[in-house]
């Protein structure tokens, strides 16, 4: 998805935001475009409160003048992107590293809206070959061994040769996966490993997916 397409999707998602609502602000290309669109609307008089899913999204929102609260309790709507979307609207997320906060915000929202380009649509999750798993640092060797035993050998995500640290102070293991026919079972299996904080599998959470396809925003519902 190009930046221009992401911008058009972000603008289209504004129709889902009503005055006075609390809005979850996702992380990544599509979410960034939505935050920019929301910022313009706030400057034009729209009154909303944002709940960011990452420090990067929080910084951008503050720059654009969007009022923020730090912790979600109940949200009206959350808008985010995804790395994979299957026909049931189950997702793989977390390539940007904010999966745990994104899942908390999505779970706290009455409506969770996902913005993607058509290249993110897959028949079965797992096609891009990796599943992000956030892990407390102390548990990384143990969790890596367990994942390998399950058939999903992981690598520690790094940046410039050093382990990439999440906003929660944890590390991410990118587990090698193929097709995931039962994402709910795999999510529960991995989360049952002591030390795992969360996975990038978002099962049964998205209420609506907006896809940029053939020059327009197309809406998919469960």
Cite the active site residues: 102
Specify burial of residue 181 (Cβ count, 10 A radius: 0-12, 13-18, 19+): exposed
Q: Where are the beta strands (DSSP E) in 81-125?
A: 84-85, 91-92, 109-117
- Between CA 218 and CA 51 the distance in angstroms is 26
* CA nearest neighbour of 13 among 82, 109, 122, 112: 112
* CA nearest neighbour of 54 among 115, 98, 22, 114: 98
Specify burial of residue 201 (Cβ count, 10 A radius: 0-12, 13-18, 19+): buried
Please tell me what DSSP assigns to residue 165. B
- The conformational region for residue 160 under phi > 0 = left, psi -120 to 50 = alpha, else beta, is left
Residues 6+ apart with CB under 8 A from 49: 21, 22, 23, 67, 68, 69
Q: Is the Cβ–Cβ distance between 17 and 222 less than 8 Å?
A: no
């Amino acid at each position: 998805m190009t930046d221009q397409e992401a911008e058009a999707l972000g603008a289209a998602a504004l129709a889902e935001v009503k005055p006075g609502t609390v809005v979850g602000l996702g992380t990544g290309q599509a979410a960034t475009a939505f935050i920019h669109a929301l910022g313009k609307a706030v400057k034009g008089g729209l009154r909303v409160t944002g709940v960011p899913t990452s420090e990067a999204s929080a910084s951008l929102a503050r720059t654009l003048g969007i009022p923020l609260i730090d912790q979600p309790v109940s949200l009206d709507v959350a808008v985010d992107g995804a790395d994979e979307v299957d026909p049931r609207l189950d997702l793989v997320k977390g390539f940007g590293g904010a999966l745990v906060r994104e899942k908390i915000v999505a779970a706290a929202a009455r409506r969770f809206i996902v913005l993607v380009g058509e290249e993110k649509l897959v028949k079965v999750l797992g096609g891009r070959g990796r599943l992000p798993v956030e892990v407390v640092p102390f548990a990384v060797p143990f969790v890596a061994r367990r994942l390998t035993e399950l058939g999903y050998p992981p690598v520690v995500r790094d940046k410039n040769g050093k382990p990439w640290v999440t906003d929660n102070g944890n590390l991410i293991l990118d587990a090698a996966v193929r097709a995931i026919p039962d994402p709910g079972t795999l999510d529960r299996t991995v989360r049952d490993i002591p030390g795992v904080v969360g996975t990038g599998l978002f099962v049964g959470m998205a209420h609506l997916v907006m896809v940029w396809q053939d020059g327009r925003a197309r809406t998919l519902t469960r």
